[in-house]
Each structure stands twice: as structure tokens, then as C-alpha cells.
Structure 1
Amino acid sequence: MQAQISRDQPITNSYSALTQFWENIKALTEPYWYPTKAGGRAFSAVIRSWGMLITLILLIIGLVSLNVFTNFLYRYLVDITITGRDVSKFFDTVLIYSVALIFVTAFVGFSKFVRKQISLDWYQWLNNHILAKYLYGRAYYKINFKSDIDNPDQRLSQEIEPVINNALTFVTTFLEKILEIIAYIVIIWTISHQVAIILVIYTVIGNVVAVYLTQHLNNINQEELQSKADYNYCLTHVRVHAESVAFFRGEKQESNIIGKRFTKLVKNVQRRIDWERNQDIFNRGYQAVIEIFPFLILGPLYITNQLGFGEISQASLCAYLFANSLAELINEFGVSGRFSIYVERLSEFSSALEEVAKEPTNVSTIKTVEENHLTFENVTLQTPNYEQVIVEDLSLSVQPGEGLLIVGPSGRGKSSLLRAIAGLWNAGTGRLVRPPLEEVLFLPQRPYIILGTLREQLLYPNTNLQLTDAQLKEVLQKVNLQNVLNRVEGFDTEVPWENILSLGEQQRLAFARLLITHPSFTILDEATSALDLTNEGHLYQQLQETKTTFISVGHRESLFQYHQWVLELSENSTWQLVTVEDYQKQKQIVNNPPPENVPITINNLPKETTVITNIITGFSHKEMQTLTDYSLGTIRSRASQGKSITTKDGVTYRYNKDPKVLKWLRV
């Protein structure tokens, strides 16, 4: 929030706020005007920007000089008109005055043109600069976990241009009006010291009042900016979730939500209007006093023939122009309050993007190594804020061509494991070996539909691939999407695909991307949840034919037949890795338990041998944990991998995976 300056606030706080504002300005302007980092702006571009800025400053100085020159011409013209009889001198003066005004007009036009050109170039560069930060290191994803950064899309689209426009307008207006005020004060001083001194004192008092009014407007403007962002986000939310709102018939509730935010916005706008009214009254009254008092002081001097009429007219005109320049300067300080808010929000956003893109320090992270296989080595995965452990001490390896199915109750971290593979989450410990992300294709439950043509949809994310229409039609045929072409004019038609394609069709479109890109590894997060079993089976068969290594997250029992291994995530961050056959047998035992008090027996001796039935005595995972120094996750991992464990008393045990046993037995 912007620091609020009031009578009760210590001066040090005001100084601190001013210092912070200056630091924010430097952070946004230095990379453009003083690039010091490698890979910054080209030297030729910097020289061009400085050239335009110097040109703008010279135009402003020239404009003020011309205004002063025309002011003296005005005085001379008045004297000739009142006292002179020389008509030729009168017309010569009028001609010079007219030429000077033409130059003034030209200087005004060119100065505004150069200022707008600088503004456009600076805006284009700053937008690309912030956008590059937004997309670098997946900052656009990580920024969502920073609760203090609201509406990043609005900060990008609506708050960069005002920073540039207000900055240039303020600087050029400040320079021009200060030069004009100094020039008019000097002119008035040559006519009357008394008038000049009174104007200076009056200016100081007026500025104190103006700063007081401006500070309140700054706070109101900041609240209005926030309320506009909230209102805009609310409308965007309804548009994005229009179908869900329609299904629930939630128009009344949405109207109430939108109405509350709009009411808050209107209240802030009304507060601003009230304060701007006070400011406008002050500005006009302040200007009116300056306009009238030269007559009160200089009028008697003219009556007593101590000053000429031309001097009186010039002093009055200078006082009027002084008042106008001062009013514009005060108004610019008022507008700069909104400018300071934009600067603060944009600087905060830029710093947050840099922060989230950096690799965390002094925290434990999962070490990632790129190789042509996927292996978790004693990985403990946590949420990005390190507040919750998702899975503990996970060790497994997915061999090329195999399929791994991740199952477990909702909220147990199935999708989080996929985020870890993608490098989105890395909070925790252990070592993750994965292929380069360029060789991995992710298929989420709700596929990402880009803004583009059907061709671009199919080729995404490798839009530089060159496939003929016939090849694309063949792919659509394989995923049963051939009818999509009947709804549009061709592959290069751009329409709102999210509204045209159902969720099931979008999931089939995602599989079409898979068949086009031929990735080495595929990650599917309930990627067939909206499909019937026939379409699901057809797509998984297509997937198996690509010989890709794939990992699926899902709940359907139909998925078991397409995978070789099952990773089950359970409560307390525990897990087990078993074959599909073993997992299905476990579930059968759970769903159909044996009668109580009936011992579990093994009868696997050769037929030639007498059958001996023994009662199996063994230990569960938790019982083994009390006998060893291993964590529960490690015990489950060694059980799934068929490894033995030696207890504290020196006895070695091995886990029996027989569905009728499932115990740690003494070797």
C-alpha cells in the first residue's frame, strides 16, 4: 500500500515513502535509459531514445522562449495601438507577432509528437521487458502462490502504459511550467518588485494546500484502482466459467457478487469526485486571485502615469499565464498521485517476478537430473510453502515402454507428483531423474486450448512442425475427431474452440497432439475422465502403439489393463508400488476378506511331497518399523522392490507379496 502522509505521521515515514518511490522509479527507468546488464537494450536504441529526449527538451525550451518573445511583442503591440499613429509599424509588428505564433504552434505540435513517440517506444520496450520476466522460469505459474500479488494480467495489460504516459507528461509539463513560471516572474519583477514578491509568497501557500489535497486523492486513487481490478476479475471469472454458472442457474448469485464489487467501485469513484471538486474549486479560486490582484496594485500606478498601459497589460497577462502554468503544475502533481500508485504496483510486480523466478536458497529442494529415464530416489515431496509433506521417501523407476498408474484418495498428491516431474514443484529432498522436458508431453484433465487455428491447436506446443492437411485429417480420424472439420471451414480457421469443443472432444484433441509430437514420455492426469470406455480404450491402444513411456493418474479400474505398475498414495504420506496383478489381488482381499479366526496357509510344496500346512507368522510394515531404524516409506519401498531388511537384533526379513500372505517373513 502507498504510504499515507498526514500531520500525525513522522517526517521519517514521509522521507522513507519518497525514497521508496524514487527506488521504484529507478527500477523501471534504468534498464531503458541506462542499461547496464548484459543482454539489455542495444546501444543504437539507447542513443536513439536519448536523441529524442534531448530533442524534446530543446523543443520545450524553444517553446517557452517563443512564449516570452510573444509576450513582449504583445506589450509593444498594445503600446503602438494605444499611443502610436504609425500604421506601417503596427502592421509590421502584427506580422512578426503572427509569425511567432505560427512557430509556437509548430513547436507545440512537434513537442507533443516527439513525446508520444518516446512514450510509444518506451511502452513497447517496458511491456516486452515485464512480459519476458513473466514468462521466464515459469514465473507466470509461481506468481499465483504469492497472495500479495493480485491480478497479474491487469498489471500487464492496463498498468504499464499509464506509467510511461504519466512519467513523460509529468516530466515535460514540470520542465515547461517551471521555465514559464520563472520567465513570467522575471518579467513581472522588471515591472514591479512588489507584485513579484506577492506572487512567490502566494505560490508557496498554494502549493502547501495543493499537496494536502493531493495526498488524500492519492489514497483514494489507489483504492479505486484496486476496486477496478477486482471488478474486472469478477467479470472475467463469469466469462471463463459461463457454462458452470449456466448449469447451476447461478445468475442471481453472480449478480449479487458483481453488484457488491461494482458498488464498492462506485463508492470509491464518488469519493474521488468529491475530492476532485474541492481541488477544482481551490485551483480556480487560486487562479482567479492571481488574475485580479495585478490590477489592484498596478492600476493606481497607471492612473498616476507611473506605468504605461503596455506594461500594465503585460504584467496582467504574465500574471494570468503564471496562474495558468501554476494551475497546470499543481494539477500535474495531483495526477502524479495516480502515477505513483501505478509505479508502486508495477515495481512490486516486477520484483515479485524476479523473486519467484530465482532458485530458492537456504531451503531443501529435490535435485533434478536429466537422463533418458524416470527415477525417484528417496524423494520426499512437499508443498511449495513447505507446510505439508505430500509423499515421503519415494523410490521407484519407470522402465522405457512401461506404464505406471498412480492411484489414491483425492487430495493425496497424485497430481503433485506430476508437478514435481514437470519441475513446477521442487520443495523437499531426494533425487529425481527425468528426461528433458522437451521429450515429455503432459495431458491434463482439462486440456489447454490455445487462441489460434485448428492447425495450431493440433501442432501445439511444436507449432513449427510442417504437416499436410491429409496428415492432420488422418490424426483426427485416429482420435475420432474427424467431424470437427464439418463445423469450420478448414484447418486455418480461428474460432473460440473452448466453446465449440466439449470436454471429451478437447481430451481427444490432446491425444491428437500426442500422436503428432511422438514424445518419449507422456504424463496423463485423468486425461480420459470425460470419455466413455470405448474411446478411452481406443486412445490408450494408440498410446501403447507409440512405444512411449507413460504415467497416468486416474481412478477408473479400466485403466489397469494399460499399465504394468501401480503406485498407490495413502494417508500419512505413505505409498506402495506393486504390479497391477498384485494390486488387484490386494483389493480383492480387502473387498472379500477371509472368515475370522481362519489362519492363512501356504500350500506350494511339490506334489511328490507330503502337504504340510503351517500357520504363517510375520510382521506388517508398521511392526517392522518398530524393529528397525527405517522410515515407513522406506519399508514400503523395499517391500515393493523385493529387498530384504535386517532388524536391530540382526534377523533378516523379506516381504512376501503373495496376496494370501503380505507379511515380512524371516529369511
Structure 2
Amino acid sequence: MQTQVVQAKPSTNAFSDFIQFWQDIRAIAGPYWYPTKPGERAFSDVIRAWGMLILLILLIFALVAATTYNSFIHRYLIDVIIQEKDYSKFTYTISFYAVGLVLITLLVGFTKFIRKQISLDWYQWLDNHILNKYLNNRAYYKINFKADIDNPDQRLSQEIEPITSSAISFSATLLEKALEMVTFLIVVWSISQQIAVALLIYTIIGNFIAVYLNQELIKINQAELESKADYSYCLTHVRNHAESIAFFQGEKQELNIIQRRFSILIKNIKEKINWERNQAIFNRGYRATIEFLTLLVLAPLFIRGDIDFGQIGQATTACYFFAGALEELIAEFGVSGGFSSYVQRLSDFSDALEAVAKQPENVGTIKTIEENYFAFENVTLQTPNYEQVIVENLSLTVQPGEGLLIVGPSGRGKSSMLRAIAGLWNAGTGRLVRPPLKEVLFLPQRPYIILGTLREQLLYPKTNRQLTDAELKEVLQQVNLQNLLSRVESFETEVPWENILSLGEQQRLAFARLLVTNPRFTILDEATSALDLKNEGNLYQQLQETKTTFISVGHRESLFNYHQWVLELSQDSSWQLMTVQDYRNQKTIVTTPSTNPQIKIDDSSQDKSLIQAEISTVEGLSHKEMNELTYYSITTIRSKANKGEPITNRDGIIYRYDKDSKVLKWVRV
């Protein structure tokens, strides 16, 4: 979908932002950790998730305890080396110290493993949860009408995993470093209360500064996410519309668009680099100050003999771990800036999916009834935003085996009628009767080409059907695609079909699906617009032979040959339904005998039956109007007019130029 410039949510103050953040967290994490809806999540899965979380907490406690224990062993080891100089005590003590190091190493490894396993399990569930919302009740389609939700594909593919990994990482780090800071603060307190009090005050001040700096990072990360999404989308847009861009030779314009969005991305990245520079200076300076103050206080105490060397080593180590824990904690606050941006975007996306999937209240909707035929009963159809009426008080019935052709000016809602049948649009009033959608096959103007093999293309949407290669070859022959197999190795070949098949070939491939599926009901939205009249006629004749009931949208007059009824939509939301023959009679131009029946026509270029046709002289088309209806240039049209040669327009209608001085127009034969 087209990306939109998304304005950040209005911020009132830090407290309200914090409350909103936790509400978003609860909305995302609640269904996984605290499922309340029946069937939302299996009880065994919830127990497993909580079991792993409790195991992670126990491992963190064990890690901090082992680290603290080893600090005391290290202190005693230093005393043995410096003061007692007892080798037997040294070997005995260092063996305990080595065991402590091994234990710490194992605990670090298992802690990281459990953290990543929890985040992976959560990510897998959350992705499926959001994806089910996305595909439920056609929310993936309806979300395109919400301008404030940009790049849903990126939100699904790139912005869910960072939420789970960051949430577990931040929570585990917060617990681990908070325990380390408290533990080592107690250790330092036992050695020097002055340093302990200074560390405590320093920690409080540092955290306030970190939280303040983090507010700016949240804005930077939000802008970076949106600029990355916009940049990625414009590259995808070029790939999807490569042929159109090549026809227009629009490479320079596309490059300007890409560079403009890339420059915005670079600007946001530079802002983040500058912020990270300041954060690095702050973190390193914060830690260095702690180490400096520790030595400044402890050195005089050792010189006066108030503490021994082992206590200096333990206090220094404790302050080092304290400073390191505080630095990591501040760094995690910085990472949480990106985390909060992801949370906000996913929460907005999830809320929007739920909103579009719900049936709107206090508005008129078309009631749908499932029967074995199509019918509109006093249906007034409106656009999804209820701003425009497409058709008013429509009543008609299409019996099984019949064909209905919907015609009318461009933009008058012909395709919207099909959207109503499919249940995509239901704004309005009245009652729609239709078969179950599983019995209806839709053929749009631009067929949907899936990512799969040639066999899957032909069998879609029922890819579990079993057809032999010979049967599939026969189907390709029926739709004049027999040469397709010569371009690929087999029916199991998977290539980018949208790139190697022309639009006409794609439309014939869609008809092949129809012949394979053999549905009872078919909807065609200009499904043969890219085909010549011969191929169109071949496909519609085969469609008629299947005895299916079908509704078509189209402009070509040739389509009248394959339908029994015509529904014409008008500009003023009115409509008229009549048989094809009545519609033709109504639209046929009144004919009168020509005042000059002696018309010289080259028999080699026109069938003799055309010479005997009665020609309309009531109204006609100019050279310019014929140019718009055909593939000929004005020069060629003038030449044919002088020679008396007929012209067939794009819809297969034949015109000839009447040279009568009272006419001098191209008139329909």
C-alpha cells in the first residue's frame, strides 16, 4: 500500500506517555502471559512459558550470587598472596575461585540461552497472533483504507521480533543488574559507608539523566523506523511497477523519489549517531567517575592502615561491577527507546486490525443471504466511508446458468458491485442473495499470480486437487497457452511468473484455473480486457459450456454475445436492467437509407455484405474521435476516409466514412 506520513501521537507529559506505554505493553503481552479468552492459548503452553521465565529468574539470582561469592574468594586470595604468603592456602583458595569462575561461565551461557528461547517462543506466538488478525475477516484488505497505518508488511516482518527479544533482554538485564548493584552496594557498605552513600546518590542522579536522554531517543527511533519503512516501500514500488516505469522512461523521477526518501533516512540515522556519541561519552564518564572516587577514598584508608589490601581489591572490584551494571542498565534504557517505538507501532496496528474486522455500529449494512443464485433486493450500495452512493434501490435476479453483463461509464461502481458480492463492501441497505463464496471463483482484470509452481498456479485456489500432467496440458491447450511449457522445465517449475507472463497470458492462465476448478458461479471483472476478440470468444464459449452462472463487468460490445442480461449503471446512481437484445435495440442508432447509395468501396478490403448494409447518417464520429477509439493515427484515418476503407475500433465495431456533404463523419455499420 502507499505509505503515509504518520504523525506521532500527541504527547502531554512523561507520566501520560509512561501510562500509554504500559497499556500498549499489556495489550501485546497480555494474551501470551495472561490469556483471558477461551481458546486463546493452550494451558500447557502458558505453563511452559512461565516455567521457563521462573527458570530464567532463578538463573539470574544464581549468577549474581556466584559473582558476589567469587568477589569474597578473590578478596581472601589477595590477602593470602600479599599478607600471609601461604602457598598451601593459595592452592586451596584458588581451586574454589576456579570453581566459581566455571560456575559463572556456565550460568552466563544458560541465562542467555533461556532468554533467547523465551523471546523466540513469544515471537513465534505473537507473529501468528497478529497474522491471524491480519487475515481474519479480510482485515488485510480493509486496513488499506486507514491512512494512519503505513507499511503493514514491514510491521509484520520486521517489527515483531525486536519487541519480544528487547522485552526479555531488558527485563532480564534490569533484574540482573539491579541485583548486582544492590549486592555490591552492600559489599562496599561493609568496607566504606562513604563510598556506598556516594554510589547510591550518584546512581539516582544518573538514572534520572538516563531517563531524560531516553525520551529524545524514542522520538529518534520512531522517525528512523518510519523513514526505513518508506525507503523500503519505494524500492518495492519500483520493482512492482518496473515495466510501467520503463515505458514512461521515468528512471530519473524514480531516482529523485528514492534519493529524497533515502536522504530523510540518512538524516534520522545521523541524529541517532549523534545521540549515541553523547550517550557513550556519558556512560564512560559516569563509570570512570565511580572508579576515580573509589580510589580517592580507599587509598587514604589503606595508607592509614584502616583497611587491608584485600578489602581494597574487593571494594574496587565491587565498584567496578557496580559501575558496569549501571552502564549496562543505562544502555538498556537507550535500547528501550527503540523498543517503545516498536511497541507503539504494533499496538496501533493490532488495534486497527481489530477495528476494521468489527462490524460498524449504528450504520446501514447490506444483509447477505446464502442461496443457490444471485439476487439484489432493494440494495443501495455505498462506498466503505458512506460518502458516496454507487447504486440505489437495485433489484434483480440471476438464475442458475444465466449470464449478467454490468456496463456503464468508468468510475460508476461496476467493480464495486462485484466487491459487494464478494463481501468486501457492505455499506448500504437492502439484501444481497448469493451462493457461498467457496462456490464462487473471481477473475479480476489483473489476475492474482501466486508465489509457486506452474502446477500451483493452475490449481489455485484449491491447490490440493490432484490432476495429472496430461490433464493440465489439455487445460493449457484450451486457453491457448500450450507454448508455456516450452518456456519452463515442468509443472513443478517455480519462477517469477508476473515477470515472464504478459497480462494477456495471465488472463488466460486465470481462465485455465476456471476450467480446472469448474465452479458453479463465476465473477469476471474485465477478465478479458487484454485479449483479442478471438481469444476472448474462445474463453467465453468454454465458460458457457461449463453451464456456470456468471456475472461480468466489461466495456466491449463483443461481450453481449455471451450474456443474457445487461445491467447498466448511470452517473446519477440509477440503473436499468434489460435483455441483451433489448439493450442492443435501445442503443442501436436509428438508420435511414443513404441519399447516395452509390458508394465506391474496394472489394478486396471489405466484405461485400458491408456494402449492402444500411448506414446511419444521424450521428457520427470525427477523425479525432476515431483516433481515440482505435489504434490508428489521424493521418491513417484520413487516408482510409479518402479511400472509402472501413475501420474496426478496439471493441470490434466497424465504421465507414460517409462523404455526404451533410454528414462528413465516420458512421457505424
| Deviation, structure 1 residue 31 | 1.1
- Taking the TM superposition and a 5 Å limit, the aligned residue runs for 1:34-45 are 34-45=34-45
Distance 1:505 1:331, change over 3 A: same
Task: State the secondary structure of the residue aligned to 1:292.
Answer: helix
Q: Is there any run of 5+ residues in structure 1 with no aligned partner, and where?
A: 596-667
Contact 1:3 1:14 in 2 (8 A): no
Who is 2:502 aligned against? 502
Q: Residues 82-106 of structure 1: CA distance to partner in whole angstroms, max 9, x if unpaired?
A: 1012101111111111111011000
Whole-angstrom distance in 2 between the partners of 1:474 and 1:207: 73
| Deviation, structure 1 residue 592 | 6.1
Contact 1:283 1:327 in 2 (8 A): yes
Q: What amino acid is the match of 2:550?
A: F
Instruction: Kindly indicate whether residue 438 of structure 2 is the aligned counterpart of residue 460 of structure 1.
Output: no
Whole-angstrom distance in 2 between the partners of 1:46 and 1:539: 55
Who is 1:238 aligned against? 238
Q: Residues 396-422 of structure 1: CA distance to partner in whole angstroms, max 9, x if unpaired?
A: 111111111111111000000000000
| Deviation, structure 1 residue 493 | 1.2
Q: Is there any run of 5+ residues in structure 2 with no aligned partner, and where?
A: 1-6, 595-669
Contact 1:2 1:344 in 2 (8 A): no
Q: What amino acid is the match of 1:382?
A: Q
Who is 2:178 aligned against? 178
Whole-angstrom distance in 2 between the partners of 1:19 and 1:369: 45
Q: Residues 19-46 of structure 1: CA distance to partner in whole angstroms, max 9, x if unpaired?
A: 1111111111111112221222211111
- Taking the TM superposition and a 5 Å limit, the aligned residue runs for 1:377-526 are 377-526=377-526
Q: What amino acid is the match of 1:23?
A: Q
Whole-angstrom distance in 2 between the partners of 1:521 and 1:154: 36
Contact 1:2 1:341 in 2 (8 A): no
Whole-angstrom distance in 1 between the partners of 2:56 and 2:159: 24
Whole-angstrom distance in 1 between the partners of 2:221 and 2:107: 33
Who is 1:108 aligned against? 108
| Deviation, structure 1 residue 59 | 0.7
Who is 2:261 aligned against? 261
| Deviation, structure 1 residue 4 | 7.6
Q: What amino acid is the match of 1:304?
A: R
| Deviation, structure 1 residue 2 | 5.5
Who is 1:661 aligned against? none
Who is 2:545 aligned against? 545
Whole-angstrom distance in 1 between the partners of 2:591 and 2:118: 77
Q: What amino acid is the match of 1:571?
A: Q
- Taking the TM superposition and a 5 Å limit, the aligned residue runs for 1:159-308 are 159-308=159-308
Q: Residues 288-336 of structure 1: CA distance to partner in whole angstroms, max 9, x if unpaired?
A: 0001101111111110101111111111111111111001001101110
| Deviation, structure 1 residue 51 | 1.2
* TM-score of the pair, normalised by structure 1: 0.87
Whole-angstrom distance in 2 between the partners of 1:282 and 1:15: 25
Q: What amino acid is the match of 1:269?
A: I
Whole-angstrom distance in 2 between the partners of 1:391 and 1:342: 43
- Taking the TM superposition and a 5 Å limit, the aligned residue runs for 1:367-378 are 367-378=367-378
Whole-angstrom distance in 2 between the partners of 1:236 and 1:176: 43
Q: Residues 241-296 of structure 1: CA distance to partner in whole angstroms, max 9, x if unpaired?
A: 11111111111110000000000000010011111111111111011000110111
Aligned residues: 588
Task: State the secondary structure of the residue aligned to 1:395.
Answer: strand
Who is 2:32 aligned against? 32
Task: State the secondary structure of the residue aligned to 2:432.
Answer: strand
| Deviation, structure 1 residue 16 | 2.0
Who is 2:355 aligned against? 355
* TM-score of the pair, normalised by structure 2: 0.86
Whole-angstrom distance in 1 between the partners of 2:390 and 2:593: 33
Distance 1:3 1:481, change over 3 A: closer
Task: State the secondary structure of the residue aligned to 1:571.
Answer: coil
Q: What amino acid is the match of 2:428?
A: G
Q: What amino acid is the match of 1:181?
A: M
Whole-angstrom distance in 2 between the partners of 1:298 and 1:525: 84
Question: Cα RMSD (Å) of the superposition?
Answer: 1.4
| Deviation, structure 1 residue 594 | 12
Distance 1:40 1:593, change over 3 A: farther
| Deviation, structure 1 residue 163 | 0.3
Instruction: Kindly indicate whether residue 96 of structure 2 is the aligned counterpart of residue 96 of structure 1.
Output: yes
Identity in percent: 70
- Taking the TM superposition and a 5 Å limit, the aligned residue runs for 1:149-168 are 149-168=149-168
Task: State the secondary structure of the residue aligned to 1:107.
Answer: helix
Name whichever of 152-161 and 350-359 sits farther off.
350-359
Contact 1:475 1:515 in 2 (8 A): yes
Q: What amino acid is the match of 1:418?
A: L
Whole-angstrom distance in 1 between the partners of 2:38 and 2:201: 50
Task: State the secondary structure of the residue aligned to 1:339.
Answer: helix
Who is 2:626 aligned against? none
